[in-house]
A = this chain, B = another copy of it.
Amino acid sequence: MTRILTDHDLQMPALMPLAIEAVEDVLRQRARGAFVSPPRHAVSIDGAGDLVFTIGGGAGGQSPVAGFRAYTTFSVQQDDQLVAVWNVETGTLKAVVIGSLLGAIRTGAIGGAAIRYLSREDAQVVAVIGSGLQARTQLEAAVAVRPVREVRVFSRSAENRDRFAMEMQQRLGRPVQAVETARAAVEGADIVLCATVSPEPVIRAEWLKPGAHINTVGPKTAEAHELPVEVAAMARRIATDSPAQLQAYGRPFFLAGTPQLSRMEDLADIVAGALPAGATGQGRGLDDVTLFCSTGLAGTEVVVASALSDHLDQSR
Listed in ascending order, the chain A residues whose CB lies under 8 Å from chain B are 2, 4, 34, 36, 38, 41, 43-49, 51, 53, 55, 57-60, 64, 66-68, 70, 72, 74-82, 84, 86-93, 96, 98
Contacts and interface: CB of A to CB of B under 8 A. Distances in A.
A154 B202 CA distance: 72
Nearest to A64: B48
Contacts of A87: 74
Contact of A38 (B4, B43, B93): B43
- Chain B CB count within 10 A is highest, among A47, A74, A87, A92, for A74
A59 B46 CA distance: 7
A53 B59 CA distance: 19
A88 B49 contact: yes
A34 B46 contact: yes
A44 B55 CA distance: 10
A60 B48 CA distance: 9
Contacts of A34: 46-47
Contacts of A55: 43, 51
A36 to B, nearest CB: 5
A75 B57 contact: no
A66 B48 contact: yes
16 contacts: A36-B43, A36-B46, A41-B43, A43-B55, A46-B59, A47-B59, A48-B59, A53-B68, A70-B84, A72-B86, A74-B86, A75-B92, A77-B91, A79-B91, A80-B86, A82-B96
B75 A91 contact: yes
A296 to B, nearest CB: 17
B51 A75 contact: no
Nearest to A66: B45
A75 B48 contact: no
A74 B91 contact: yes
Identify the 7 closest CB pairs spanning chains A and B, nearest first: A75-B91, A80-B93, A78-B91, A48-B88, A47-B59, A48-B59, A74-B91
A98 B2 contact: yes
A177 to B, nearest CB: 36
A36 B44 contact: yes
A112 to B, nearest CB: 25
A304 B12 CA distance: 37
Contact of A59 (B45, B66, B93): B45
Contacts of A60: 47
Contacts of A84: 70, 82
Nearest to A70: B84
